[in-house]
A and B are shown apart, each in its own frame.
Chain A
Amino acid sequence: MSETIIIDPITRVEGHGKITIHLDDKGDVSDARFHVTQFRGFEKFCEGRPFYEMPSLVERICGICPISHSIASAKACDAILGVRIPAAATKLRRLLTCGQYIQSHALSFFHLSAPDLLLGMDSDPAKRNLIGVLEADPDLAMDGIRLRKIGQQIIEAFAGKRIHPSWVVPGGINVPLTEEHRSMMLSLLPDAYAIVNRTLSWLKSRLDRYREEIRTFANFPTLFMGLVNQQGNLEHMDGSLRFVDARGKFRADQVDPSEYQDWIGEAVEPWSYLKSPYFKPDGYPGGIYRVGPAARLNVCNGCGTPQADQEWAEFVGLERGPVMSSFHNHYARLIEILFSLETLETLLNDPDIFSRHVRAHAQPNHQEGVGVVEAPRGTLIHHYKVDDDGLMISANLIVATGNNNLAMNKGILQVARRFINGDRITEGALNRVEAVVRAFDPCLSCSTHAVGRSSLVPILLIGPDGTVLDEVR
Chain B
Amino acid sequence: MNRVRLATTWLDGCSGCHMSFLDIDERLIQVVERVELVYSPLIDNKIFPEQVDVTLVEGAVSSDEDEKKIRLIRERTGTLVSFGDCAVTANVPAMRNQFKVEEVLRRGYVENASCGAGIPDVDIPHLLKRSRPIHELVRVDFFLPGCPPSAESIFFVLGELLEGRVPELTGKSRFGA
* CB neighbours of B18 from chain A (8 A): 63
What is the total number of residues of chain A having a CB less than 8 Å from a CB of chain B? Answer: 73
* CB neighbours of B121 from chain A (8 A): 270
- Asked whether any CB of chain B lies closer than 8 Å to the CB of A93, the reply is no
Contact between B15 and A445, CB atoms less than 8 A apart: yes
Contact between B98 and A63, CB atoms less than 8 A apart: no
The verdict on A12 contacting B116 (CB below 8 Å), with A134-B32, A271-B123, A453-B63 known, is no
Which residues of A in the span 281-324 have a Cβ within 8 Å of any Cβ on B?
A: 284
- Asked whether any CB of chain A lies closer than 8 Å to the CB of B71, the reply is no
Q: How far is the CB of B149 from chain A (nearest CB, A)?
A: 10
Contact between A266 and B96, CB atoms less than 8 A apart: no
* CB neighbours of A8 from chain B (8 A): 46
* CB neighbours of B23 from chain A (8 A): 149, 152, 162-163
Residue on B with the closest CB to A283? Answer: B115
- Asked whether any CB of chain A lies closer than 8 Å to the CB of B133, the reply is no
Contact between B15 and A164, CB atoms less than 8 A apart: no
Q: How large is the interface on B (under 10, 10 to 19, 20 to 34, 35 or more residues)?
A: 35 or more
Q: How far is the CB of B175 from chain A (nearest CB, A)?
A: 13
Interface string of B27-60 (1 = CB under 8 A from A): 0110010000100011111110000000000000
Please measure, in the bound complex, the distance between the C-alpha atom of A103 and the C-alpha atom of B150, giving whole angstroms.
Answer: 17
Which of B73-81, B106-114, B134-142, B155-163 sits within the interface?
B106-114
- Asked whether any CB of chain B lies closer than 8 Å to the CB of A60, the reply is yes
Contact between A12 and B41, CB atoms less than 8 A apart: yes
Contact between B124 and A272, CB atoms less than 8 A apart: yes
Which residues of A in the span 413-456 have a Cβ within 8 Å of any Cβ on B?
A: 431, 445, 450-453, 455-456
- Asked whether any CB of chain A lies closer than 8 Å to the CB of B153, the reply is no
Main secondary structure of the interface of A (DSSP, over half): loop
Indicate which residue in A60, A275, A472 contacts B92 across the interface (CB closer than 8 Å). Answer: A60
Please measure, in the bound complex, the distance between the C-alpha atom of A366 and the C-alpha atom of B28, giving whole angstroms.
Answer: 48
- Asked whether any CB of chain A lies closer than 8 Å to the CB of B147, the reply is yes
Please measure, in the bound complex, the distance between the C-alpha atom of A43 and the C-alpha atom of B122, giving whole angstroms.
Answer: 22
Contact between B12 and A275, CB atoms less than 8 A apart: no
Contact between B25 and A11, CB atoms less than 8 A apart: no
Contact between A64 and B122, CB atoms less than 8 A apart: no
- Asked whether any CB of chain B lies closer than 8 Å to the CB of A458, the reply is yes
Indicate which residue in B10, B96, B124 contacts A40 across the interface (CB closer than 8 Å). Answer: B96
Most buried by A among B109, B119, B122: B109
The verdict on A473 contacting B42 (CB below 8 Å), with A270-B122, A455-B65 known, is no
- Asked whether any CB of chain A lies closer than 8 Å to the CB of B82, the reply is no
The verdict on A270 contacting B120 (CB below 8 Å), with A162-B20, A450-B107, A453-B127 known, is yes
Can you list 24 A-B contacts with CB-CB less than 8 angstroms, sorted by A residue number? A12-B42, A12-B44, A14-B41, A40-B62, A41-B95, A41-B105, A43-B108, A44-B107, A57-B92, A60-B14, A60-B91, A64-B16, A107-B19, A125-B45, A163-B20, A265-B114, A270-B120, A272-B120, A275-B113, A431-B44, A450-B108, A451-B127, A453-B125, A472-B46
Instruction: Known A-B contacts: A126-B44, A163-B19, A451-B109. Give 19 more (CB < 8 A).
Output: A9-B46, A16-B10, A37-B63, A37-B65, A40-B93, A63-B16, A107-B22, A129-B43, A149-B23, A162-B151, A267-B114, A267-B115, A268-B110, A268-B116, A268-B120, A273-B120, A431-B44, A451-B96, A453-B12
Those 9 A-B pairs whose CB atoms lie nearest each other, nearest first: A63-B16, A450-B108, A267-B115, A473-B46, A41-B96, A45-B95, A265-B114, A271-B122, A41-B104
The interface of chain A, by Cβ under 8 A from chain B, is 7-9, 11-16, 18, 20, 33, 35-41, 43-45, 57, 60-64, 66, 107, 111-112, 125-126, 128-131, 134, 142, 145-146, 148-149, 152, 162-164, 265-273, 275, 278, 284, 394, 396, 431, 445, 450-453, 455-456, 458, 472-473
